[in-house]
Structure 1
Amino acid sequence: MRLTTLDNTTPMQRLEVEEVDWERLNIHEAKRLATLVVAARHFEECILRLDKLNLVHGPAHSSLGQEGGAAGCIAALPTATMINGTHRAHHQCLAKAINALYGDDFDPTVTGRLSESMREETRRMMHEILGLRDGWTGGRGGSMHLRRAELGIMGTNAIVAGGLPIACGHAFAEKVRQGTSLMVSFFGDGAVHQGATHEAMNLAALYRLPLLFFLENNRYAVSMSIEQSTFQTQLLTRAQAHGIPSVCVDGMNPFAVWLAARWAQGHMQNEGGPALVQADVYRYYHQSSSVPGSAFGYRTRDEENQWRERDPWPLLSRELIARNILDEAELEAISEAAHEAVSAAYDSCVEGTGSATRIRPELWPDPQTVDDHLTSDMSEFDGVKFSEIEDFEADELESLSFIEAIPRVVGARMHENDAIYVFGEDVANMRGGTVGATRGLLDQYADRIINTPITENGFCGLATGAALSGLRPIVELMYSDFFLVAGDQLLNQAGKIRHLFGGTASVPLVLRARIPGLEGYGSQHSMDPAGVFALFPGWRIVAPSNAFDYVGLMNSALQCNDPVLVIEPQELHRKKALVPKHCSHYIPIGKARRVVEGSDITLLATLTMVDVCKELVERLGISADVIDLRTLSQRDIDYETIAASIKKTGRLAIVEQTTRGASIGAVIADEIQRRFFDYLDQPVKRVTGRWAPPVVSKVLEAAALASTDDVEAALKEMMIDSGLIAAAAQGR
């Protein structure tokens, strides 16, 4: 046996500063770099002061000691650069805000203070961290969720590595629009071990995205050292494995990081694709407190003192003075300008002194606004004409199956809107994907039908970031259960972003989820996702039961500025319906449809069970209102239509094919009984499958899901309980 070592040509290097490198730093850039470093330092010291006074509600993850990394990186890059980051991001965001406003004619050593716009953004960022109404996003984000898109701060993230896939989306949107801005995503050494990190790196390299992965290696994830967290402690190997060139640099030296960022910028502009910079830094305090880590025993005071001797601000000051780039008076002026801005921000937040210091009460947000911005106000539908099948003449319609309608309507909208991109596994292969949902689209839109690797968390996060940057992604999940793999990006990110950032961001994302039904795919491929997505009020959920409704609801989903889940039962794929030939009609989100009219019982049906209910009431001769709910997001349920029916019939059943535990019917039933109790002659009945998820066995699968027999039994029970069967028999 012979083993041959395989070469990896992806560079993995250490950057060290040489004396000649200082010639690249002119006086103007030196002042910019110094301003960003010392502003971040003063700001963090102020936040710690507020934290010691118990005025920071929730964690305040101090980055004292780490300023050199973020400030050095941001100072080196164009002011239009975009960033996102993780929970420890004060230094990143303040440096980015100031840099974005740092014009070529600005000189803090002349003005003696930061510009008014810089001072205002410093104030508003501090207000945001304290949860105040004048904060960047109304105080909802606090310390860990900072967004100011106007300044290129696209949103920081409390989930470790959660922002990395989203950063891919921002970079993807910038690339396909042929923009010139770079994207920087900051993360820590703890995030290196997250799957989201590797999925994001893989996607960034695969799609050649202009994304700088900036790794702030402070050596500890809370108290876990790198040596406790991983066997391979050379962190650059992660980037190398994905084909991403990388450099490691002393992050306590802001100028060294400045050089590393310039290297990364050059690589991305000249070679294309992402780069990674690892800045070795050190946080002086524990995870989110004002005491050092040594107080908790996971590191020593000697270690902390050694790192403090390399403090970024004194180090930079010494180096600039030694080379006659800036003098002591200029550096002092810069420090005073930054300190004055931070002090003014502090004074704007609080009143009183010492232990009596408190937040100014008039600055708190109004509690009545707590539910504002959960979803769009739907103004994007102003001027849209909504239609039902009755609104069309026979010669305007054609017969289409459910699966034929999917690419037809998507293609029509892609023709009108070049912001629509389709992402998913195999969507650009096999002449239309695994079930034909993109059939015919590749001929015209090949560059907008994007095959993704099997990285649901990664590509759903990419789609979220792309939506935040103005694209309208359609994501195909090959099977509905796979949303669980992407749960963070779909539920914790896309579904919460609008509310979390105070309505300053929207995620116009369409997620198509296929349910196999009685196809033998087993319990890990057969879940109805509606009940889970309904728990997150930022999501809209539509459930079309025929091709006409699919087209109308998909058009509305692509018009909506919220994330929309479109549920597609495979059992309906071959069913045909009449659809307008132009595929341009809209059905309002939140509007149910009565498909059968009757007087004795109300049946609320979803998806495959709509036709089951229609056929049953006809066969049994029951006078029933059969209502196709069509929209299943909790805040969008059409209770107006439901109310009109209940007031007429007094009896209601909710009919779903899904299993008992996954059913959304329990929530709907609870709401109905709260709203319409006085009109009900008997308790709301629910028809669902059993508790067990469907397994592969044909017999057990059928037993797990609701069937025609289950609906029939429920109907007869309701009729008997209400005496309707006896009355009908006497009438005959």
Structure 2
Amino acid sequence: MKFTQLEMKTGMRRLVTEDSDWAQLSTKDAKRLTTLVLSARRFEETILSLDKRGLVHGPAHSSLGQEGGAGGCLAALPIDTMMNGSHRAHHQVVAKIVNALYTDNYDPSAEPVLRDEMREEIRRMMHEILGLKDGWTGGRGGSMHLRRENLGVMGTNAIVAGGLPIACGHAFAEKQQGGERITVSFFGDGAVHQGTTHEAMNLAALYRLPVLFFCENNGYAVSTTIEQSTFETNLNTRPCAHGIESVHVDGMDPLAVWLATRWAEDHIRTQGRPAFVQADVYRYYHQSSPFPGSVFGYRTKEEEEAWRARSPWEFLCDKLISHGIVSEDELNAIDAAVSEAMQAAADSCTEGKGSAMAIPAGHWPDPAGVDDHLTSDMSEFSGLRAAEAEDFSSEQMREMTFIEAIPAAMGAAMKSDPGIVLFGEDVANMGGGTVGATRGLSEFFDTRIVNTPITENGFCGLAVGAAMSGLRPIVELMYSDFFLVAADQLFNQAGKIRHLFNGTAQVPMVLRCRLPGLEGYGSQHSMDPTSVFALFPGWHILAPSNAFDYVGLMNAAMRCNDPVLIIEPQALHKRRCPVPENLDYYIPIGKAKRVAEGRDLTLLTSLGMVETCKDLVASLGIGADVIDLRSLSQRDIDYDLIGQSVRKTGRVAIIEQTTRGAAFGAFLVDEIQRRFFDYLDQPVKRVTGAWAPPTVSRVLERAALAGEDDITKELLAMLRDSALPEPGKEAV
């Protein structure tokens, strides 16, 4: 037996600066580098001072000591670079905005203050961190969620590693739209152990995305060391495993970071592949506290003093002066201008001095606007044709199955909107995916039908970033339960972004989920996702019950500037109905439809239960309003139509096939009884399946989901509890 060492195709390298590197650094580049490093340093010192006075509400994750990494990186990149980051991002963001406003002919040592545009953005950034109305997003983002898109700050993220797949999405959109901008995504060593990080790196390498992954390795995830987190402490092995070239540098040496970043940019542009930079840095303070880590016992004072002696700002000054690149007077002038901008920003959002310092009352946002920008104002639908089946003549219609309607609707929209891109597992394979939902699309839209690996959180996050950057992604989840794997990107990101960033960002993406029903797929492939998505007011939920409605609702979803879930019941795939030859119509979000009419009962239902309820009340001889809800988000329910029916019948039942625990109806019961209590003759009833999720066994699956017998039993009970006779009996 013989073993031979396998060689990796992907390179890992370490960069160390030499005197010759300093000799080649121009004065112009050195002043830019100095300004960015110093801006990050002085901004953090100012925030720390405000935090010590209790003026920063919530955490303020200080990055003092890490400014050499962010400043060195961003000074080396073009001013139009896009960036995102994590919860510890003040230094990255302030360096980014200063660089974005730094022109080639600007000399910060020649003026007593920074440029007015820089001072204004620093001021507004500080207001944002303090949660004030004049902040970039009205104070909603605070310290951890910073966004200034016109300066390339695409949005920082409080979820560790949460921004990495989103950065891939920004880069995907840029590449798809023919742009040349690079995206840099900052994260810490703690994020390297997140599965999301590996999903993002795999997608970036697979799709050859122009992304720079920049890891600020400060040695601690809160108080946990790298040695306590992983057996393999060489973090560059992670990108290497995904086929991403990497370089390791001393982040306390801003020039080393600058040179590493220039290498990374050149690699991205010439090789068409992402790159990874690891910069070893050190945060002087605890996770989110104005005290050093030694106070909490996980670091020694000796360790902290050794790292402080390697301060990137003092190191940079020493090198620039000793090599005659920038004079001490020029450095002092830059420091004075930067420090003035920070003090002016702090003065603009505070009053008083010392312990009496406070935030003026007039600086806070208006509480009345707390619900603003949860979703779009729907102005994107202006001028479009809303239609129902009754609006078309039989000559205008053709028979179509539900499964045929899915690719037909997407294909028609993709022809008119080049920004629509479809992501999903197997969507470009097998002539139309696993069930034929993408049949025929690949031959017309080759590069826009994108097969993904089995990385739901990764490709859903990529879709979020692509949507934020101008595309309209459609994501296919092979089965509905898989949304739980992607929960962070769908709920913490897509569902919150518009509101979190106060309407300055939108996520126009569509999520298609297959709901198997009675197909034997078991409890991990059969969950109705409605009730979970309904918890997040940023999502719209559309539930088509036939092919006509699928086309109209899907057209609405693809036009909407919010994230939309559209549920596709597999039980309806082969069901036919008339659909117009011209698919250019839509069904408004929030509009239900009465599909049967009567005076005895109101039945509220959706998806596969609509036809079941219609047929059942007809066979039982019950006069019932059967209302197909179609839109299931809590804020989209059509209470106007429901109210009309309740005032007429006085008796309401909510019919869902799904299991009791996953059912959406509890939300409806509460709201209906609040709105229409005076018109109800009895409590609102619910028909659902059992508590247990459906298992593979045919009989247990049927027992878990609601069927005709369950509906019949409840309807007859409602009639018995009222003055109305049961079907076939006369009233006494």
SS in 1 for 2:660: coil
Question: d(CA) in 2 for partners of 1:712 and 1:22?
Answer: 83
What is aligned with 1:568?
568
Shift of 1:23: 4.1
Shift of 1:111: 1.6
What is aligned with 1:660?
660
> 5+ unaligned residues in a row in structure 2: which ranges?
none
Q: 1:708 aligned to 2:708?
A: yes
What is aligned with 2:118?
118
What is aligned with 1:699?
699
What is aligned with 2:416?
416
- Equivalent residues in 2 for 1:356-435 (5 A)? 356-435=356-435
SS in 2 for 1:458: helix
What is aligned with 1:146?
146
What is aligned with 1:503?
503
Note closer, same or farther for the CA distance 1:406–1:308 as it changes in structure 2 (3 Å cut).
Answer: same
What is aligned with 1:535?
535
- Alignment length, in residue pairs? 732
What is aligned with 1:3?
3
Question: d(CA) in 2 for partners of 1:559 and 1:53?
Answer: 47
Amino acid at match of 1:211: V
Question: d(CA) in 2 for partners of 1:320 and 1:74?
Answer: 19
Q: 1:725 aligned to 2:725?
A: yes
Question: d(CA) in 1 for partners of 2:132 and 2:591?
Answer: 37
SS in 2 for 1:422: strand
Q: 1:317 aligned to 2:317?
A: yes
Question: d(CA) in 2 for partners of 1:31 and 1:182?
Answer: 23
What is aligned with 1:101?
101
What is aligned with 2:588?
588
- Equivalent residues in 2 for 1:203-282 (5 A)? 203-282=203-282
Shift of 1:25: 2.1
> Which digits, 9 at most, give the CA deviation of each residue in 1:251-279, with x for residues without a partner?
00111100000000000000111000000
Q: 1:491 aligned to 2:491?
A: yes
- Equivalent residues in 2 for 1:70-219 (5 A)? 70-219=70-219
Amino acid at match of 2:579: V
Question: d(CA) in 1 for partners of 2:577 and 2:706?
Answer: 24
What is aligned with 1:344?
344
Question: d(CA) in 1 for partners of 2:362 and 2:587?
Answer: 44
Shift of 1:395: 1.1
The 8 Å contact of residues 716 and 726 in structure 2, kept in 1 or not, is answered as no
SS in 2 for 1:111: coil
Shift of 1:176: 1.2
SS in 2 for 1:117: helix
Amino acid at match of 2:254: P
The 8 Å contact of residues 622 and 727 in structure 2, kept in 1 or not, is answered as no
SS in 1 for 2:531: helix
What percent identity do the matched residue pairs reach? 68
Question: d(CA) in 1 for partners of 2:321 and 2:354?
Answer: 37
Question: d(CA) in 2 for partners of 1:731 and 1:474?
Answer: 54
Amino acid at match of 2:523: S
What is aligned with 1:550?
550
Question: d(CA) in 1 for partners of 2:466 and 2:445?
Answer: 18
Shift of 1:208: 0.3
The 8 Å contact of residues 659 and 689 in structure 2, kept in 1 or not, is answered as yes
Question: d(CA) in 1 for partners of 2:20 and 2:274?
Answer: 27
Question: d(CA) in 2 for partners of 1:396 and 1:67?
Answer: 65
> Which digits, 9 at most, give the CA deviation of each residue in 1:218-276, with x for residues without a partner?
00000000001110000000010001000000000111100000000000000111000
Shift of 1:387: 0.3
Question: d(CA) in 2 for partners of 1:585 and 1:163?
Answer: 36
What is aligned with 2:43?
43
> Which digits, 9 at most, give the CA deviation of each residue in 1:338-372, with x for residues without a partner?
00000000000101111111111100000000000
> Which digits, 9 at most, give the CA deviation of each residue in 1:155-189, with x for residues without a partner?
00000000001000001011111211000000000
> Which digits, 9 at most, give the CA deviation of each residue in 1:623-679, with x for residues without a partner?
000000000000000000000000000000000001111111000110000000000
What is aligned with 2:519?
519
Shift of 1:54: 0.5
SS in 2 for 1:724: coil
SS in 2 for 1:156: coil
Question: d(CA) in 2 for partners of 1:252 and 1:620?
Answer: 79
What is aligned with 1:462?
462
Amino acid at match of 2:581: K
Amino acid at match of 2:697: S
Shift of 1:9: 1.7
The 8 Å contact of residues 725 and 731 in structure 2, kept in 1 or not, is answered as no
The 8 Å contact of residues 620 and 727 in structure 2, kept in 1 or not, is answered as no
What is aligned with 2:33?
33
Question: d(CA) in 1 for partners of 2:144 and 2:716?
Answer: 55
Amino acid at match of 2:637: I
Amino acid at match of 1:507: V
> Which digits, 9 at most, give the CA deviation of each residue in 1:431-479, with x for residues without a partner?
0000101101111101100000000000000000000001000000000
Question: d(CA) in 2 for partners of 1:649 and 1:356?
Answer: 64
Task: Say what the alpha-carbon RMSD is for the aligned residues.
Answer: 0.9
Amino acid at match of 1:201: M
Amino acid at match of 1:346: A
Question: d(CA) in 2 for partners of 1:730 and 1:487?
Answer: 53
Question: d(CA) in 2 for partners of 1:115 and 1:38?
Answer: 15
Question: d(CA) in 2 for partners of 1:442 and 1:43?
Answer: 50
Shift of 1:731: 6.3
Question: d(CA) in 2 for partners of 1:667 and 1:700?
Answer: 27
- Equivalent residues in 2 for 1:540-689 (5 A)? 540-689=540-689
SS in 1 for 2:725: helix
What is aligned with 1:284?
284
> Which digits, 9 at most, give the CA deviation of each residue in 1:106-159, with x for residues without a partner?
111112211111000000000000000010111000000000001000000000
Question: d(CA) in 2 for partners of 1:433 and 1:622?
Answer: 42
Question: d(CA) in 2 for partners of 1:727 and 1:329?
Answer: 96
> Which digits, 9 at most, give the CA deviation of each residue in 1:360-412, with x for residues without a partner?
11000000000000000111111112000011111111110000000001000
Shift of 1:727: 9.1
Question: d(CA) in 2 for partners of 1:656 and 1:67?
Answer: 55
Amino acid at match of 1:670: D
SS in 1 for 2:444: helix
Shift of 1:29: 1.2
Amino acid at match of 2:574: R
Question: d(CA) in 1 for partners of 2:269 and 2:487?
Answer: 34
Shift of 1:728: 6.4
Q: Give 4+ residue runs of structure 1 displaced > 4 Å after superposition.
A: none
* Stretch moving more, 574-583 or 677-686: 574-583
Question: d(CA) in 2 for partners of 1:39 and 1:351?
Answer: 23
Shift of 1:726: 5.6
Note closer, same or farther for the CA distance 1:544–1:727 as it changes in structure 2 (3 Å cut).
Answer: closer
> 5+ unaligned residues in a row in structure 1: which ranges?
none
Amino acid at match of 2:152: G
What is aligned with 2:12?
12
TM-score of the pair, normalised by structure 2: 0.99
Note closer, same or farther for the CA distance 1:726–1:41 as it changes in structure 2 (3 Å cut).
Answer: closer
Question: d(CA) in 1 for partners of 2:730 and 2:140?
Answer: 64
Amino acid at match of 1:324: G
Question: d(CA) in 2 for partners of 1:352 and 1:111?
Answer: 29
Shift of 1:20: 2.1
Question: d(CA) in 2 for partners of 1:485 and 1:729?
Answer: 52
SS in 1 for 2:413: helix
Question: d(CA) in 2 for partners of 1:483 and 1:379?
Answer: 29
Amino acid at match of 1:724: L
Question: d(CA) in 2 for partners of 1:37 and 1:83?
Answer: 17
